[in-house]
Amino acid sequence: MPAFLLPIAGVVLGLIIGSFLATLVLRWPDSRSVVAGRSSCDHCGHQLRARELIPVASFVLQAGKCRQCGATIAKDHVAIELAAALIGGIALYAAPGAQGLAGAIFGWLLLALAALDVKHHWLPDRLTATLAVSGLMAYFLFIPPPLLDRLIGGLAGFLSLTIIARLYKSIRGRDGLGGGDPKMLGGIGCWLGWTALPLVVIGASLVGILVAISWQLRGKSVAADSRLPFGSLMAVAAFPLWLYQTAGGGLAY
Ligand SMILES: [Zn+2]
């Protein structure tokens, strides 16, 4: 395949993966079948035909409504498909080849975690573990960072947020972080190496501040105890850092 076609292939693959991820995110918490896919309308149970299952296109053609009952199709579905397409396209543009595909997988895992965190404040162990294992495996594609940096990244990511969470709880007497957050930072460390961890946390905090400001501008109250989905903030910070590493900026490599 000519190199210029790879980002396009990334977009197409992203749409397909995104459709699966959206189903995962919207159904997993209710433990409805994910394998069966988005095969029926969530509202009336109408069995969807092939032409109603095309990522993004079906949504646009049907104006976001079920053909049978006219119920609005969750916009989350199409948003996740678009985000996954964007991740696939950008990753394979930044690195046309195996490294780009690995980066796309990193991005798609982050996307699934971010969406579950925003919607359900839930970072499933199975997904954070997949993030960690795939990050260590990416080393075997001979792409930086070195394996030792990834292993230290995994441990340091997990331990640092665990300690911060314990400290916070002992001072404030309540949880400031979700239980999955340290595991997720560990998983990110397995991909980016330990040197990237401070930037992930600082980036996530900056994004969090921007989100809080935009909430206030829109008149949404931000109580001192409203819990920002830190996992999704880390995801937003981590993918650009992968791009930066890959584009040759390098973080001490
Ligand atoms: Zn319906």
Label residue 37 by pLDDT band (50, 70, 90). low
| Ramachandran region, residue 250 (left: φ > 0; alpha: ψ -120 to 50; beta: rest) | left
Contact 91, 104 (CB under 8 A): yes
Q: How open is the CA angle 28-233-115, to the nearest 5 degrees?
A: 20
pLDDT at 252: 42
**Structure confidence at residue 250 (pLDDT):** 47
Mean pLDDT of the chain: 88
Using the structure block, give the residue that is written with the tokens 């930072």: 185
Distance 66 CA to ligand 1 centre (A): 5
Q: Is the pLDDT of residue 30 over 80?
A: no
CA of 65 to the centre of ligand 1 (A): 8
Between 125 and 56, name the one with better pLDDT: 125
Distance of alpha carbon 121 from alpha carbon 178, whole angstroms: 8
Tens of pLDDT, residue by residue over 193-228, are 999 999 999 999 999 999 888 888 888 766 655 667
Q: How far is ligand 1, taken at its centre, from the CA of residue 85, in Å? A: 26
For residue 164, give both structure tokens. Answer: 């911060």
Distance 77 CA to ligand 1 centre (A): 15
- For the chain, give the percent of residues with pLDDT over 70: 92
Residues with CB under 5 A from ligand 1 (ion): 41, 43-44, 46, 66, 68-69, 71
Mean pLDDT of 177-188: 93
Q: What would the pLDDT profile of 65-87 be if each residue is shown by its tens digit?
A: 888 898 888 788 899 999 999 99
| pTM (predicted TM-score) | 0.90
CA of 248 to the centre of ligand 1 (A): 48
